[in-house]
Amino acid sequence: MKKDNTMRTATRRVQTAFRLDENLVNRLKIKARSQDRSLNALVEEALMQLAPAEPEFPVIDDEMEISPELLALQLPRSFTPEEIAADDRLAYILSK
């Protein structure tokens, strides 16, 4: 089995589900198996490349105070940073 020598920090994992094309999933399983990796690890790496931890895609942890600007980026409905900053209850709810 191949070992990944990169240092990984402890992260909280969230279980989720996607509906994907069956042929795509089968191809991904074959690719993961050929690399001695799990399907999850293969997909997670691909998604990390799609949305790297950069200023426009920040990494958020539980200890971090989340700015109104960052909260506004995460919402399906667009609240402006000004709206979030002006409403303590909204900011509190959105930070959970």
pLDDT tens-digit map of 35-55? 999 999 999 999 988 877 766
Residue 48 half-sphere exposure, CB side, CA atoms within 13 Å?
7
Residue-level pLDDT at 81: 83
Phi and psi angles of residue 73, each rounded to the nearest 5 degrees, phi first: -70, -25
**In the predicted structure, residue 95 carries a pLDDT above the cut 80:** no
The residue extents of the domains of the chain are 17-50, 54-96
Average model confidence (pLDDT) across the chain? 77
C-alpha torsion 87→88→93→96, nearest 10: 130
Closest CA to 91 of 64, 73, 71, 61: 71
Which amino acid makes up residue 32?
A: A
**In the predicted structure, residue 7 carries a pLDDT above the cut 60:** no
pLDDT tens-digit map of 60-93? 666 666 677 776 666 566 678 888 888 888 787 7
